[in-house]
Amino acid sequence: MSQNDKADTGRPAVPSADDLRKNILTQQMAEMDREDQIRKRQQEELSKFADDFFHKHVGEEERAIIRNVVIRAVKEGKMEALVYSFPSNFCSDSGRAINNADPDWPSTLQGKAKELFDAFKANAQPKGYHLKAMVINFPGGVPGDIGFYLNWEPPVA
């Protein structure tokens, strides 16, 4: 900073327009770097989730989470709970059958979703439970995540 940059009043000099533009550009670059790091972390998490979803079995920890969700819903007086969710593109048709309420939607399930559905059919359905699958969000207007809702309402007479 030169001597001419300070006013005789003792106040700091007014920055140049070029300095302000550089400051804005530096802030924008830092924000872009931060967003890139967030996207990278999200992609790594999704990749790990996908690997787990397609290559491992439903574990006791996941079963315990489902039980706890149901117990909490019952304590709150609810007859239904969202017990599992996964990206729609994990279905063989990217969730189209579920979104269109196609009766054959279970045939599009893969990985842990198929395993959970099969366990529901074998264990929970005979005890009076119902399961519905639905698209729970539409990012950009397309099916995003699929949710499995476990329901224990009494039959309608």
108-155 pLDDT, tens digit each:
999 999 999 999 999 999 999 999 999 999 999 889 999 999 999 988
Q: Say if residue 41's pLDDT is above 80.
A: yes
Q: Say if residue 105's pLDDT is above 70.
A: yes
Q: Is residue 48 part of a domain?
A: no
Predicted local distance difference test score (pLDDT) of residue 155: 82
Give me the domain span that covers residue 92. 57-151
Tell me the three state secondary structure of residue 52: helix
Q: Say if residue 53's pLDDT is above 90.
A: yes
Query: In this structure, what token pair is assigned to residue 80?
Result: 């239904």
Nearest one of 59, 66, 65, 61 to 115, comparing CA atoms = 59
Residue 10's pLDDT band (cuts 50, 70, 90): confident
Q: Is residue 34 part of a domain?
A: no
The two beta strands, 80-87 and 130-135, are unpaired
Whether the CB-CB separation of 122 and 114 falls below 8 Å is answered with no
Q: Is residue 77 part of a domain?
A: yes
Q: Say if residue 87's pLDDT is above 90.
A: yes
Residue 8's pLDDT band (cuts 50, 70, 90): low
- Split into its structural domains, the chain has a count of 1
Q: Is residue 46 part of a domain?
A: no
Q: Is residue 13 part of a domain?
A: no
Query: In this structure, what token pair is assigned to residue 127?
Result: 């005890």
Residue 12's pLDDT band (cuts 50, 70, 90): confident
Q: Is residue 20 part of a domain?
A: no
pTM (predicted TM-score): 0.75
